[in-house]
A = this chain, B = another copy of it.
Amino acid sequence: MEKIFLASQNMHKINEIQYIMGEKYKIYPASDLIGNIEVEEYGKTFIENSVIKAVSIGDKINKPVIADDSGLCIEALNGFPGINSARFMNDKTYEEKMVHILEKMKNEKNRKAYFVCVATFYISGEFCFSYEGRVYGSISKEIRGNKGFGYDPFFIPDGYEKTFAELGDEIKNEFSHRKRAFEGLIEKLNKI
Binding site for B on A (CB under 8 A): 42-43, 45, 47-48, 51-52, 55, 59, 122, 125-132, 134, 184, 188, 191-192
Question: How many copies of the shown chain assemble into the complex?
Answer: 2
Beyond A51-B51, A127-B130, A131-B127, whether A59 also contacts B45 by CB under 8 A is yes
Give the interface SS of chain A, mostly helix, strand, loop or mixed: mixed
Beyond A129-B129, A184-B127, whether A47 also contacts B51 by CB under 8 A is yes
Q: Which residues of B contact A55 (CB under 8 A)?
A: 45, 47-48
Can you list 28 A-B contacts with CB-CB less than 8 angstroms, sorted by A residue number? A45-B55, A45-B59, A47-B51, A47-B55, A47-B122, A47-B128, A48-B48, A48-B51, A48-B55, A51-B128, A51-B130, A125-B132, A125-B134, A126-B131, A126-B132, A127-B129, A127-B130, A127-B131, A127-B132, A127-B184, A127-B188, A128-B129, A128-B130, A129-B130, A188-B192, A191-B191, A191-B192, A192-B192
Q: Which residues of B contact A134 (CB under 8 A)?
A: 125
Closest chain-B Cβ to A161's Cβ sits at a distance in Å of: 27
Closest chain-B Cβ to A70's Cβ sits at a distance in Å of: 14
Closest chain-B Cβ to A75's Cβ sits at a distance in Å of: 15
Across the two chains, which residue of chain B brings its CB closest to A187? B192
Q: Which residues of B contact A48 (CB under 8 A)?
A: 48, 51-52, 55
Across the two chains, which residue of chain B brings its CB closest to A116? B125
Which 4 pairs from chain A and chain B are nearest by CB? A128-B130, A188-B192, A127-B131, A51-B51
Across the two chains, which residue of chain B brings its CB closest to A184? B127
Q: Which residues of B contact A122 (CB under 8 A)?
A: 47
Distance between Cα atoms of A34 and B184 in the complex (Å): 30
